[in-house]
Amino acid sequence: MAVMTYREALNLALREEMRRDPDVFVIGEEVGLYEGAYKVTQGLLKEFGPKRIVDTPIAESGFTGVGIGAAMVGLRPVVEMMTFNFALLALDQIVNSAAKLNYMSGGQYNVPIVIRGPGGPAHQLAAQHSQSMEVYFYHVPGLKVVRPSTPMDAKGLLKSAIRDDNPVIFIESETLYNVKGEVSEDPDFLVPLGQAAVRREGTDVTVIAYMGMMYRAMEAAEELAKDGISVEIVDPRTLQPLDTETIIRSVRKTHRAVVVEAGAGFAGMGSEIATEITEEAFDDLDAPVARVTGAQAPMPYARSLERLKTPTKEKIADAIRQVCYANGSR
């Protein structure tokens, strides 16, 4: 094991997979000479050259289409979005081509492509650069959607995504790139897609949260432990396919559930998880499923308003107290 940042873990995953498989290449804006907008591709151009680390014009639809075509003929492209907000410009390529080609070709074409980059709330990047984009993709048949929360998972899940024969949407977080953690240096280390992780064991309530919200839930759990409330935290890691088995098993143990997501709540990931819990574990619940979500509003630039827009430790703790019928809930 080595201690490294989230971005270094992603870099290591790319480096290992490119060494292992000559069909893997990276394409996107500033991935080569500039070494990535967030330095995830640092040093890769020097090691692998311009045929495998490909700088592109500012044309998301164009270079995503190039990646899809390359995947159709047997290569394994990793397409970097400078920010996933820019993937809006490539939605037709992703949704109408990458996600559907295997089905519409009767299985003649696989599309083993990874489309990766940062998304979700950042630090004062305002409305057009702080959107939680997973909602745009996780209900599209044919796409897998991954949101890794830790450096270990960043490496293991990215390697699994690159090896998968299906198109994978891999959304990171700008706020987590400098987070440090232990990471396996084994080049064969993988984290399977579709497998949730129990980040904290507890007995009174299950909190389902991922990415930055998982860390805020951990903070809330530490605070509530002082009041005798035992919180279990489940990180889905992969949103599609979703590991409902692990989530339901936890809820059946604790009998209460709080779902946290950074994006606006209406028709969001929290809605889907709350529905799964209600359908599968209704008789096990001692309280209604609670959701803590971002406000139904564009992300403001001002730091104080940004805090009002996104779930906080305090909001999560309040929701937990409410489902536990604990004194002090608001």
Residue 190 lies in a domain: no
Nearest-5° Cα angle at 9, 7 to 15: 105
Q: Which of 183, 216, 243 is the last residue of a domain?
A: 183
Residue 191 lies in a domain: no
- Residue 223 is among the residues annotated as catalytic for this protein: no
Residues 177 and 215 in one domain: no
Residues 171 and 312 in one domain: no
The CATH number that applies at residue 311 is 3.40.50.920
Residue 75 lies in a domain: yes
Q: In the chain, where does DSSP find H-type helix?
A: 6-20, 44-48, 60-72, 91, 101-104, 151-163, 212-225, 244-254, 269-281, 303-309, 313-323
The Cβ of residue 48 has, within 10 Å, a number of other Cβ atoms equal to 20
Residues 313 and 175 in one domain: no
Residues 218 and 313 in one domain: yes
**Domain, as residue range, for 83:** 2-183
Confidence at residue 327, expressed as pLDDT on a 0 to 100 scale: 67
Residues 58 and 159 in one domain: yes
Residues 56 and 178 in one domain: yes
Confidence at residue 129, expressed as pLDDT on a 0 to 100 scale: 87
Residues 69 and 159 in one domain: yes
Confidence at residue 307, expressed as pLDDT on a 0 to 100 scale: 87
Q: Which of 183, 215, 248 is the last residue of a domain?
A: 183
d(CA 19, CA 315): 45
Residue 96 lies in a domain: yes
Per-residue pLDDT tens over the stretch 224-253: 999 999 999 999 999 999 999 999 999 999
Residues 41 and 162 in one domain: yes
Residues 170 and 235 in one domain: no
Q: Which of 139, 157, 183 is the last residue of a domain?
A: 183
Catalytic residue among 17, 129, 134, 232: 129
Residues 159 and 212 in one domain: no
Confidence at residue 128, expressed as pLDDT on a 0 to 100 scale: 87
Residue 104 lies in a domain: yes
Which CB contacts under 8 angstroms, 24+ apart, belong to 121-125?
Answer: 121/175, 121/212, 121/262, 121/294, 121/299, 121/306, 121/309, 121/310, 122/173, 122/174, 122/175, 123/174, 123/175, 124/301, 124/302, 124/303, 124/306, 125/174, 125/299
Would you give the end-to-end CA distance of the chain in angstroms?
Answer: 43
How many domains, the chain? 2
Low-confidence stretches of the chain (pLDDT < 50) are 330
Residues 70 and 118 in one domain: yes
Residues 227 and 251 in one domain: yes
Catalytic residue among 16, 17, 60, 306: 60
Distances (CA, A) of 138 to 13, 116, 171, 193: 23, 14, 11, 14
Confidence at residue 326, expressed as pLDDT on a 0 to 100 scale: 86
Confidence at residue 118, expressed as pLDDT on a 0 to 100 scale: 96
Confidence at residue 330, expressed as pLDDT on a 0 to 100 scale: 47
The Cβ of residue 301 has, within 10 Å, a number of other Cβ atoms equal to 12
- Residue 60 is among the residues annotated as catalytic for this protein: yes
The CATH number that applies at residue 124 is 3.40.50.970
Per-residue pLDDT tens over the stretch 34-89: 999 999 999 999 999 999 999 999 999 999 999 999 999 999 999 999 999 999 99
Residue 192 lies in a domain: no
